[in-house]
Amino acid sequence: MTAYERFSSFYDAVMDDPAPRAQQVIDWIIKYRPQASSLLELGCGTGSILARLTSVPSLTGLDRSPGMLAVAREKVPGARLVEGDMKAFSLGETFDVVISVFDSLNHLLSFGDWQSMFDLVHQHLTDGGLFIFDVNTLGELRRLGEEPPWVYDFDEGVAIIDVSFAEDGMSDGLSLWDIRIFEHAGDGRYDLHHEQIGELAVPLSQIKLALGEKYLLLDEIDESGSLPTDDSVKGHFCYRRVSPERQPS
């Protein structure tokens, strides 16, 4: 079953506030591409980011999960929503901005898939268009793997999320998120929804090297407002698409 399919009905209740992520996207669009008229979000989930990007006239979201997209259709009725894989998609058009936030990129579990996505983003961006994304870092996934499980109480039930992290040579940077949702079923009963979702973190230098030939780094920041490192919680990045004939020497 597609990742997050069982989790889609409860995703918004247990995830972080999307407003700061959306505001970072808005700030960079205003600064670097204020005339942007079209935007594509890869891994759009339930549409919480798209719903906040009202200054961009044309919004498109892509996600593998039909359940997530069903929620997004209610939340962002004016957006075009497409079921698809962010490492293998072809929409037949270009966009002024492509984004991938809420660590969606980490859900691609090989760096080859990350590179495939980077190439596809380049193909789907207008000349000079922006690629904005964030990632969970190696340090953050390592820290999460060392913490006890998180317990979230919400109206529909209880969620327990336990993260394990591998550093064994074969699985460096891979984490497994074990998610159990105990949904209130009445009369003191609960229905269990269980998913296991992987995330991959890689050194930030590796990401920058992979992007270097086709993109120009405009801005980067971590959660504290400093330059991101592999020990930050997250790295947020804004790149500009560079055409081959206009690549900096």
| Segment 138-180, tens digit of pLDDT | 999 999 999 999 898 888 889 899 999 987 654 678 999 998 8
Cβ atoms within 10 Å, residue 201:
24
**pLDDT number for residue 1:** 42
Sign of CA dihedral 218, 241, 110, 85: positive
pLDDT at 248 > cutoff 60: no
Nearest CA among 140, 135, 136, 138 for reference residue 239: 135
Does pTM top 0.85 for this prediction?
Answer: yes
How many angstroms separate the CA atoms of 206 and 187, rounded?
A: 52
Domains and CATH numbers, the chain: 11-136+203-246 (3.40.50.150), 139-200 (2.20.25.110)
pLDDT at 209 over 90: yes
Nearest by Cα to 86 from 58, 110, 105, 67: 105
